[in-house]
Chain A
Amino acid sequence: DAGITQSPRHKVTETGTPVTLRCHQTENHRYMYWYRQDPGHGLRLIHYSYGVKDTDKGEVSDGYSVSRSKTEDFLLTLESATSSQTSVYFCAISPGQGGTGELFFGEGSRLTVL
């Protein structure tokens, strides 16, 4: 299995509080991704990174920010959590190289915003 861990795995928070989810990899892969998964919507890309300090927005980036100060860590921050951000968040990594690389996922972080 790919060395990718997410923390925390479960979190309950209140509306308006900031939340940070961490993704850590030991594979030295270039690309890292944050997805959210909701019933009826499937996996939707929030942000991705193609290198240290290099990030870009996905299709559902509003209300989220990311940072990647080291190859191995990709942080997802909810500036001020809302109930609509209740979801399961998956981090994924890929070596890249023309899209032929497999996408490996972390086990997911289940976030509930009350």
Chain B
Amino acid sequence: RKEVEQDPGPFNVPEGATVAFNCTYSNSASQSFFWYRQDCRKEPKLLMSVYSSGNEDGRFTAQLNRASQYISLLIRDSKLSDSATYLCVVTLRGYKYIFGTGTRLKVLA
């Protein structure tokens, strides 16, 4: 079983739609959680950290459920520029970053 699992998609959604991605992780000792965004042929960049209480950044909301070991990302009012691959990341022992394979999102005009 992979340590971090994501639905690869693609998720094709119209502009303005709300879309949600989930990610599950297998190691209960995972410490920190992140969503990264990766555009085609570019390096990954941090989208947002994920906190136990849930957190929001504009149109993006992230949730963490430690009991069920999953992380979610909700994107409201999707824009064409949101089209990208979204990577779920967890850390172990403070320095080991483990990536999911990513979920591809395509926002359609």
Q: Is B truly associated with A?
A: yes
Residues of A within 8 A of B (CB): 31, 33, 35, 40-45, 48, 50, 90, 92, 94, 96-100, 102-103, 105-108
Closest to B92 in A: A99
Q: How many A-B residue pairs have CB under 8 A?
A: 59
Knowing A41-B101, A42-B102, A108-B43, say if A98 contacts B31 (CB, 8 Å): yes
Chain A residues lying within 8 Å of B95, measured Cβ to Cβ, are 31, 48, 50, 94, 96, 99
Contact indicator A45/B96 (Cβ below 8 Å):
yes
Chain B residues lying within 8 Å of A92, measured Cβ to Cβ, are 97
Chain A residues lying within 8 Å of B93, measured Cβ to Cβ, are 99
From A42, A94, A99, A100, contact of B101 by CB (8 A)? A42
Contact indicator A40/B101 (Cβ below 8 Å):
yes
Among A92, A96, A100, which residue has the most Cβ atoms of chain B within 10 A?
Answer: A100
Apart from A42-B87, A96-B94, A100-B32, 11 more pairs, CB < 8 Å? A35-B99, A40-B101, A42-B100, A42-B101, A99-B32, A100-B49, A103-B44, A105-B43, A107-B43, A108-B42, A108-B43
Chain B residues lying within 8 Å of A97, measured Cβ to Cβ, are 94
Knowing A105-B45, A106-B43, say if A43 contacts B99 (CB, 8 Å): yes
State the CA gap A41–B49 with chains docked (Å).
23
Interface of B is mostly: strand
Closest to B101 in A: A42
Interface residues of B in 60-95 (CB under 8 A from A): 87, 89, 91-95
State the CA gap A100–B30 with chains docked (Å).
12
With an 8 Å Cβ cutoff, the count of chain B residues facing the other chain is 24
Chain B residues lying within 8 Å of A106, measured Cβ to Cβ, are 43
State the CA gap A105–B99 with chains docked (Å).
13
Q: Does B46 contact A (CB under 8 A)?
A: yes
A-B contact pairs, 9 of them (CB 8 A): A42-B87, A48-B95, A90-B44, A96-B95, A98-B32, A99-B94, A100-B49, A105-B44, A108-B42
State the CA gap A100–B91 with chains docked (Å).
9
Knowing A42-B102, A99-B32, A100-B32, say if A33 contacts B97 (CB, 8 Å): yes
- Shortest beta-carbon distance, A110 to chain B, in Å? 9
